[in-house]
Structure 1
């Protein structure tokens, strides 16, 4: 077979799902595969693919993509592409149509979101029936996938996501780190407690802020500063109305002088260096990419005891707190905030676990093994 794959992501949003193709393209190429992309014209996905070194085929809308199926098939034939990989369930209409019209295509789908309802009606039986392999990104989503999708268990596989770990290795000297902390509003000697990620409902910002308010009571002698890392606009992947609600709640809790909104930052690995504790209070993560990034950076982590996060953050690598309990968050942050040696031990264990299980090289090796597999579609 030809070692070529087209990643299809017709999304105008910007999150982990949309970032995935560009994240793995360099490693795909390093392992001998030629990558192509199909994206919406002008989207962040299209921009990220171009930045990763490939010029994607673009369409104006999902509807236009279906109308231009002949153009897409011609592109696949011209480039000798036999593998398609979809990342949004809505893109499977196109992927399944392409696979129906050209039965030699192998179609893969990653369920990045974690399906929440059964998909076994006539349409979904047809669309998912064209899939060679469906990837669940955690054990938590695998259970839901097995129950929801009209596929036999052997065609669904759990495949953890992976990242390039190298950017998260420390690079700043003491002076540069202190300068960055000062830029983030963290005073000398303060414990920096960060929450990275999109500012959207479901990511747990509210319980984290409530936890910070209670942290003042739980550990009155602890000097700390909270850092909210994430875009503040829709273009940057955040919910602007939600951002406004968070700012209001910060004021109501008397935390204006204690919490910094950084806005979008392209230097997240360096920001991790400036933090002492990383919090991920998302209520129902299908995977938890931010957790893995913080692990790779060797940070002490508090994660929500829900979704896939407990799988990633095993005992000895961090702390878990109930996603709706601000008191539990305050207690976990107080424990880590008051014990620098504990933070170091947890961070070292987390970093070792990330290297063992969540490296992009390992992920892509498993992925291309599936791409090149001998299984045939029914």
Structure 2
């Protein structure tokens, strides 16, 4: 446990189930600490290695941290905004509250009520910012470019995973479910692979209990098409960067997404991307003359198959898109850059130059 007197920023996580928000905290906090930001987590569902405080430490929030007049509470959910408001406004503890919004839909009246009481608001994309009724700063998520980087030897990267080194591979990574569009990827590959014997496809990710039947239906569809040896369901893996490095094409087929890091992870491993027009994908990819990928309408199978075919059938175009994607990911979307920009918000709150 961290000594609360040394903590300037509290990052609560009041949800036990792993989610995108939880993953953000897990990845971001160590980087923030490395940059000198005195951040500690609070709540369940987080790895034991993260710096944390216990609930009893909240009783000491009337006091000040060393060298500061107040602390920052960084909420990412309604359930984390509400207690911060109580601590600050009812109990008069020395806090400023910042909220990060990733939602791309109209907020409920309750959420709007909470957001209006924040001292600062961060939006994870410009599209997200458009749904806010208060001023915000857009800070897009970043990725760890020390983990996600190109394969020095693509064939060796494939062989290391037990994949055929002499085949090109299209991949779709993430939870296996309808919302994520896994069926669209599978259907597009069923249509494309018979005419492209040098390609295979992999689906990497977990189907939770509620979606196992959906995954089984997809596997049966692949089996009926006679492609069970070419469309592979490889499950969930902790070494996911290794799987990206084996790819020659990445497809993000989501029907809906809050933000979505998978295209960035593919770009950082120098893999061209086909992605739907959801979440932050339009702000991550560059299309047109300097393309890093192809953007398509959501839930349109024909458009997905056509876009994938354009990269599958044109190795030079795919190679150029991969190189540009790598340059864009490393220059614009590193997690260190994200942490630094968030740190600038913290510093303004801690120094009293931003007020609610």
The aligned residue for residue 12 of structure 1 is 16
Q: 1:125 to 1:168 in 2, by over 3 A?
A: closer
The aligned residue for residue 138 of structure 1 is 125
TM-score by structure 2 length? Answer: 0.87
Higher helix share: 1
Judge conservation of contact 2:267–2:326 (CA < 8 Å) in 1. yes
Match of 2:51 among 54, 77, 81: 54
The aligned residue for residue 260 of structure 1 is 232
SS at match of 1:168: coil
Q: 1:291 to 1:269 in 2, by over 3 A?
A: same
Judge conservation of contact 1:89–1:111 (CA < 8 Å) in 2. no
Is residue 2:18 matched to residue 1:21? no
Judge conservation of contact 1:138–1:286 (CA < 8 Å) in 2. no
SS at match of 1:257: coil
Provide the C-alpha distance between the structure 2 equivalents of 1:348 and 1:318, rounded to a whole number of angstroms.
Answer: 11
Provide the C-alpha distance between the structure 2 equivalents of 1:347 and 1:56, rounded to a whole number of angstroms.
Answer: 42
Match of 1:167 among 112, 125, 147: 147
Q: How much does 1:321 deviate? A: 2.2
Is residue 2:88 matched to residue 1:91? no
The aligned residue for residue 262 of structure 2 is 290
Judge conservation of contact 2:192–2:305 (CA < 8 Å) in 1. yes
Q: How much does 1:79 deviate? A: 8.0
Provide the C-alpha distance between the structure 1 equivalents of 2:299 and 2:228, rounded to a whole number of angstroms.
Answer: 22
Provide the C-alpha distance between the structure 1 equivalents of 2:184 and 2:205, rounded to a whole number of angstroms.
Answer: 17
Q: How much does 1:92 deviate? A: 1.9
How many residues are matched? 341
Q: How much does 1:2 deviate? A: 7.3
Is residue 2:337 matched to residue 1:362? yes
The aligned residue for residue 228 of structure 1 is 203
SS at match of 2:114: helix
Match of 1:157 among 116, 137, 145: 137
Is residue 2:323 matched to residue 1:348? yes
Q: How much does 1:239 deviate? A: 3.8
Match of 1:104 among 91, 94, 97: 94
Q: 1:157 to 1:249 in 2, by over 3 A?
A: farther
Instruction: Please tell me the root mean square deviation across aligned C-alpha atoms, in Å.
Output: 2.5
Is residue 2:284 matched to residue 1:312? yes
Provide the C-alpha distance between the structure 2 equivalents of 1:132 and 1:276, rounded to a whole number of angstroms.
Answer: 45
Q: How much does 1:328 deviate? A: 1.6
Match of 1:208 among 185, 201, 207: 185
Judge conservation of contact 1:288–1:309 (CA < 8 Å) in 2. yes
Provide the C-alpha distance between the structure 1 equivalents of 2:40 and 2:279, rounded to a whole number of angstroms.
Answer: 32
